[in-house]
Amino acid sequence: MKTITDKNRIDEIFARGTVVEVLPSKEEFIRRLMSGTSIRIYIGVDPTGVAIHLGHAKNLFFLEELRQLGHEVIFLFGDFTARIGDPSDKKATRKQLSVDEVKANMSGWIEQIKPILNFDDKDNPVKIMYNSTWLSKLTFEDILELSSNFTVQQMLERDMFAKRMKENMPIHLHEFMYPLMQGYDSVAMDVDAELCGTDQIFNAMAGRTLMRRLKNKEKFVIALNLVANPKTGELMSKSNGTGVFVNATPNELFGSIMALPDPMIEPLFLNCTRIPMQDKEALIAQGPREAKARIAFDIVRRFHGEELAKVAEQTFNNTFTKGGVPEDIQEIHIDGAISLADLLVQAKIVPSKTEWRRLVEAGGIKLEDDTKVTDPNFKPEKGTILKIGKRRFVKIV
């Protein structure tokens, strides 16, 4: 397939500085992109959760740009590898998932990433693959053959394994196999390049090794930085509560971006938006609140469209800046005998009646006009609106 070799467009892709490492080298990769023939590049994601967050999304921007240049992009579901669990992110072994859990996780993914990756393009759609297709068919013999390409020492070099050795923490044999599996994905798909986060370089390198040995081919590894708070080094991730998930409603998505710490503004701008680079200074000069709002708007628009993004921004300003009540408020029905506390527990708005009492005592419950509810036995009327903390709202009907 013919590709676009416009040097400016290619340079632009790298201009955001999100690419931290290219193996064997960036120059060589760019030369390959300039050659005029398409490359096959993939990203593999293990569906260990139901939602993708902005840290995943930023990789997809990059791939979509390559697709638009005419390159072949594969989105690989690591449905097989998800079950084993990549040991990279934690010191302890990750819990293994069942086939059904993985299926359930995957079901909504395409819908979530569609706004970025084009799966419907007539000439060059992004292809979807599943690594269970080939990994589940390997025989013990095949696996032994594959593993003979690596030494135990090489595996132990992976810093997290080294750390575990040092701390006398367990390393399970199947965890050693993970890089092998990911490496074999490259062979099975016969790709020219793999895109990954920097945390995945070790695994991607295993693929490079296998491609060289088995296919006599130099696979490129393009590693993108992880979206992290530059001040604290804290990664955007589900486990530490900093993940921003794109399957949220537009309002929630907007809000959760606004709630991110200020130092995240630049990484978000570079990784998760495609606001032109020349606007960067002006954007930041607007002040952190405005800058974040711009970024939040841009991201919500990409996933939910212009209209809903506008609504989300308005709702946000109205609710939090002005202390109002959002429009699409949850309504619960009250019928006679039941107490407010019971009702709220039933509707799972508060976890227990004791918790409800605590909230009342702490002054966390307000009516629409900001008067505090001080009596836990408060009887609402139909139409009463309760504000619970800053962001829970309920209308009694």
Residues that bind RNA (CB under 7 A): 92, 168-172, 241, 251-252, 254-256, 258-262, 288-289, 292, 316, 320-321, 341, 345, 351-355, 357-359, 362-364, 366, 376, 388-392
- Single out the residue of 331, 303, 347, 316 nearest to residue 252, CA to CA: 316
The residue (of 170 and 336) whose beta carbon lies closer to RNA is 170
The residue (of 13 and 177) whose beta carbon lies closer to RNA is 177
Smallest distance, Å, CB 199 to RNA? 19
Both tokens of 326, joined, read 């959002």
Smallest distance, Å, CB 197 to RNA? 23
Identity of residue 328: D
The residue (of 94 and 357) whose beta carbon lies closer to RNA is 357
Smallest distance, Å, CB 359 to RNA? 6
Smallest distance, Å, CB 224 to RNA? 24
Burial 23-58 (b: 16+ CB within 10 A, else e): beeeeebbeebeeeebbebbbbbbbbbebbbbbbbb
CA distance 315 to 324: 9
Angle, alpha carbons 258-264-261 (nearest 5°)? 50
Identity of residue 310: K
The residue (of 24 and 288) whose beta carbon lies closer to RNA is 288
The residue (of 92 and 139) whose beta carbon lies closer to RNA is 92
Smallest distance, Å, CB 239 to RNA? 9
Question: Would you call 144 helix, strand, or coil by DSSP?
Answer: helix
The residue (of 310 and 392) whose beta carbon lies closer to RNA is 392
Residue 40 DSSP symbol:
E
Q: Find out whether 112 and 89 touch, Cβ atoms under 8 Å.
A: no
DSSP string for residues in 267-336 = HHHHHH----GGGHHHHHHT-HHHHHHHHHHHHHHHHH-HHHHHHHHHHHIIIIIS----SS-EEE---T
Smallest distance, Å, CB 44 to RNA? 27
The residue (of 31 and 358) whose beta carbon lies closer to RNA is 358
CA distance 187 to 182: 9
Counting DSSP H helices and E strands in the chain, the numbers are 19, 10
Question: Would you call 239 helix, strand, or coil by DSSP?
Answer: coil
Smallest distance, Å, CB 390 to RNA? 5
Smallest distance, Å, CB 14 to RNA? 29
The residue (of 363 and 383) whose beta carbon lies closer to RNA is 363
